[in-house]
């Protein structure tokens, strides 16, 4: 109840946490990815990095609404700019595939290298598949 109240009052961390509970149907809440996406959006718009990353995944995977790869890339970029390493990897992969952004090997390498240097193993593996040393 306290978490819901804080989320309704605009607390970005509470919105993110409540969104996670709806996203996975935890803490006695029903699985409701539409509500999770809405809460992630509210928190992400306030600069919450993990909410922006989760919102990107929601748009990429079609959880809680339609697939929208350009919105996914947008929110991965927001989260990346806020220091979220996995979002940086996801943005690199989006550039590699041209998912919601113009396909660009150079941009893919830039973001994947940044994520690999921050310790993300998926980014390092993806770079090696591309023939690039992390």
Average pLDDT, 10 consecutive residues per value, the chain (134 residues): 93 98 94 98 98 98 98 98 98 98 98 98 97 85
CB 34 within 8 A of CB 55: no
29 secondary structure, DSSP code: P
pLDDT at 44: 98
Distances (CA, A) of 25 to 42, 63, 124, 125: 19, 13, 32, 32
State how far the Cα of 14 lies from the Cα of 82, in Å rounded to an integer: 18
pLDDT at 114: 98
CB 92 within 8 A of CB 125: no
The answer for residues whose C-beta is within 8 angstroms of residue 103's C-beta and 6 or more apart is: 95, 96, 97
């Amino acid at each position: 109840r306290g978490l819901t109240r804080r989320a309704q009052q605009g607390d970005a961390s509470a919105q993110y946490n409540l969104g996670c509970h709806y996203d996975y149907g935890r803490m006695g809440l029903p699985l409701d990815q539409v509500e999770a996406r809405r809460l992630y959006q509210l928190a992400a718009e306030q600069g919450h990095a993990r909410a922006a990353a989760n919102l990107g995944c929601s748009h990429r995977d079609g959880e809680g609404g339609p697939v929208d790869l350009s919105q996914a890339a947008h929110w991965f970029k927001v989260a990346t700019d806020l220091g979220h390493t996995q979002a940086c990897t996801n943005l690199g992969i989006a550039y590699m595939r041209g998912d919601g952004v113009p396909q660009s090997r150079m941009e893919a390498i830039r973001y994947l290298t940044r994520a690999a240097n921050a310790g993300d193993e998926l980014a390092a593996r993806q770079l090696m598949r591309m023939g690039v040393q992390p």
